[in-house]
Structure formats: structure tokens, C-alpha cells
Copies of this chain bind each other. A is one copy, B any other.
Amino acid sequence: MIYDDLCAGPHVEKTSELDENSFKLDRIAGAYWRGDEKKKMLTRIYGVAFENREELDAYVKQQEEAKKRDHRILGAKLNLFTVSPLVGSGLPMLKPNGMIIRKEIEDYIWSLHKNHGYQRVWTPHIAKIDLYEASGHAAKFGNELFRVKGGHGEDFCMKPMNCPHHMQIFADNQWSYRDMPIRYFEPATVYRDEKPGQLSGLTRVRAITQDDGHLFLRVAQIKQEVGIIVSIIKEFYTTLGMVDDYWVSLSVSDPATPEKYLGTRQIWETAESSLEEAAKQFELPYKRIEGEAAFYGPKLDFMFKDAIGRQWQLATIQLDFNLPERFDLSYINEAGEKERPVVIHRAISGSLERFMGVMIEHFAGVFPLWLAPRQVIVVPVGEKFNDYAEKVLKSLKDADIRAEIDLSTDGLNKKVRNAEQSRINYILVVGEKEETEKSVAVRNYKTKEQTEVTLQEFIDNSQQEIQ
């Protein structure tokens, strides 16, 4: 809640409720009276209050840490992304370093899916408005839809979701129960016309690339498929070091108001117990929250904490009884009759843009080796050793390590400082000793350790670390 504007948030009734040990004036800002720029400018004083001193201290520390890690500042400094006024706000462009991170995340997510029967599909970024009228998104998204005017009497929309497109692909074949589940995967960019004032860096954008996937399955298959998705989520976030303190919201229906939900009570009970059984089987730290389900189905939302304790809702698994109905989807069951599949929407990272923003701050720009855009730099101590440095560079590149070289005329100290400012994981200093021994002097940016190993050892260690 602490990120909300306090004016809209909880209020203390009297200042006497404030305890000087857990209260702090934070900052000031200019503000026009009632937001009207024609009126006089006043000074707004921001303060924060907590239950006790420890909570205040933790908050202050978190804020200081957050400031150091701000992904917008690191994004510019490390050449990860840029926003151009000609392109527009909320439409960040990924520079080569940023694209390396994104591609590693995307490829890793896909590698976790491909042996579980998922198949990649590709769909365009627009569709006729008819598609979203059929799906209900036109009514639901309203002004957030980017409308596209065709020149031939056709009205299009930029897609706000991928599901309707994936339903069209599913509907193109007549499936049998033997084919189920069908699992589509597409990391695809959707567009939403968010308010310009709310846009920021990579976390509040108008172009949102979901690592999206849709499963079409039978009710009896829910538990098994949810189990697979849960195992993928756990593996992914374990790799990123974020599973120490997370929790899962099992959002279910409120049985007292069945009229709020689509589908029979029996299907809901099966669906909710399938989700809960999967949660138990995988020992998820879940809370069952009644009345929090969407009208179209129950869901599991995963809340992970980053390195400085901030909570982010990232992965999600949502059951959907609504869209299969709206698109009249079916498969042929054992009795030769048409039966309606259930749909699961799932995302592991949530959106690649927001997830990248979170990762930049989580790692404070010092990425684990597999994610790091700049893994290694070779620094010769003098011009005499440029040849050996080039050989080292080539060996690293041949081993698929992202390596570069500093052949500038700068002094050694300056070269090392430059490399450290760019947060390159390993600096390999090479001179006479290294050339003779076919070795490298390694400086580890993260641990600040310095070691001397053979080039081959360094390559082997790095490849293992990347794995």
C-alpha cells in the first residue's frame, strides 16, 4: 500500500496518533490548489507513518535501496532501453544489451515448456473489432483499446489480449478427446492505451509482451496441467532466487453468490478443488480467498518478493469457462458428442517488460551470468599483450560467452574502473605472466574476488555457471 498516494490511502484521524519514532517527513513538492494550474502553487509535505520504529526503518532502507536500483536510471546507464519522444511514452525500445536479457528470459521460459507438449503459434497484433465484440473484450476494455482505422471500411483494434486469436486457431480444427489438452505458447505483444501520466520505464507501458499460453482441456485434466505449470513456475523463480518468501492467492468463488459466476456449481467445485489439490501437492504457500475469483473462473496468482522485499504479482494460472462458451469451442468426446473444453490462461513472468524492470531492480543491474548482457571483458595490461588478449577473446566467443575487449590506450586502472561501472561480471586482466601460462587474472565484479586460473578453467567454470 505504501506506493499509493496517501491522499487516497488510509488516513490517521489525529496527528496525536503518530509516534515520533515511527513517523517521518519524507519530501516536499509543489502542488496547485485542487490541481488547477491557474491557482496558486502550494507546498505539499509528504510523510510516512508506521506501527513501530522497525517498520519505519525497514521502509526507509527499502526506499534508499529502491532509489539506487531504479530500473529507469540503470536502464539508461547500462544501455538497456530507451524511450523516444518521437515514438511515444510507454513505448520503450530495447537496445542490444536489453534485448539480450529479454531473449534469455524468453528462451529460458520456452525451454521449460517445450518438453511438456506446448506448441508455439504466431498471431498478428491487430484484429477486426468483431473479434473483441465476440470475446467481450471490446466492452470490458473500452477506452483502453487502441482503435485502428482501416481505409476500406474496416474497423480494427490492437489486440489487448492474445486469447481470442488463440481461440481462432483452436477452432480451425475439429479435435477429438484423444488430442486434448492442446497447449499454445506465444510471447506476444499486446497494446493498451494507458493514461500518459501513469507511464514509466518498463513497468508501466502501453506495449506489453506477455509470455502467454493457452491450454484447451477437459475438466478432468485440470489438476495434471496445473501441476505442470506450477512446476515450471517453481523452477523459473528458483533459478532467479525468488522462492524464499513467496505466497500464492487461490482466488475462488463465493458460494453465497453463485449468480456472479459463469458455469455450473459442479464445474466450479471441480475446478477449485483441482487448483487446491495442485497447490497442496506442490506444497505451495497458498491462501484461499473467497470471492476473489474472476467471473469466468478461479485462479492462482503468485506473489514473489524481490531482493529488497517488495512484493510483485508475477505468474498467474487462470481457469476460464467463459471464452470457450463465447467462441462455441468444442471437441468430440468418447460418445461422439461435442463437448466444451475448459481454457487455462497462464503466464510465467507476467509481462516481459515489467518482469525485466523488476529483474533490473532485483539484481541492481548485476545480473547472474546467464542473463548478463556483458559477461566478460578482456583487459591487456599493455599494448604488448593485445595479441594474447585477442586470442583469449576469440576462445571466449567460440565458447558462446558474451565477451569484449578493451584495446584503448587508457591505463589499467581506468580500464578496470570503466568495466566495473558497466557492471561486467568478469574482468580478465592479461599480461606477461598470463600469456606465458595461458591463464587469466579474473576479477569477479560481484564478490570482488581476484583469482588466477587457466583460460580453459575460466571457460569451463563460466559455462557451468551459465547452465
Contacts and interface: CB of A to CB of B under 8 A. Distances in A.
Interface stretch (A65-73, A188-196, A381-389): A188-196
Interface stretch (A150-158, A272-280, A317-325): A150-158
Contact of A168 (B84, B171, B195): B84
A172 B207 contact: no
Given A99-B121, A124-B189, A189-B125, A130 B86 contact: yes
Given A148-B147, A168-B87, A94 B82 contact: no
Contacts of A93: 121-124, 165, 168-169
A394 to B, nearest CB: 11
A131 interface: yes
A151 B120 contact: no
A207 B125 contact: yes
B143 A146 contact: no
A119 interface: yes
A184 interface: yes
B148 A121 contact: no
A209 to B, nearest CB: 8
Contacts of A143: 151
Interface string A107-148: 000000001000111111111101100100000000110111
A309 interface: no
A346 interface: no
Contacts of A102: 122
B154 A196 contact: yes
A79 interface: yes
A418 to B, nearest CB: 14
A86 B134 contact: yes
B120 A88 contact: no
Nearest to A205: B124
B124 A169 contact: no
A91 interface: yes
A173 interface: yes
Given A125-B189, A146-B149, A147-B149, 12 more contacts: A82-B168, A84-B131, A86-B164, A93-B121, A94-B121, A94-B122, A96-B121, A99-B119, A125-B207, A126-B146, A146-B148, A152-B193
28 contacts: A84-B168, A84-B172, A86-B128, A86-B131, A86-B164, A87-B124, A87-B128, A87-B165, A91-B127, A92-B124, A93-B165, A94-B121, A95-B172, A96-B119, A96-B120, A96-B184, A99-B119, A99-B121, A126-B191, A143-B151, A146-B149, A146-B156, A147-B149, A148-B158, A149-B149, A151-B193, A152-B195, A158-B158
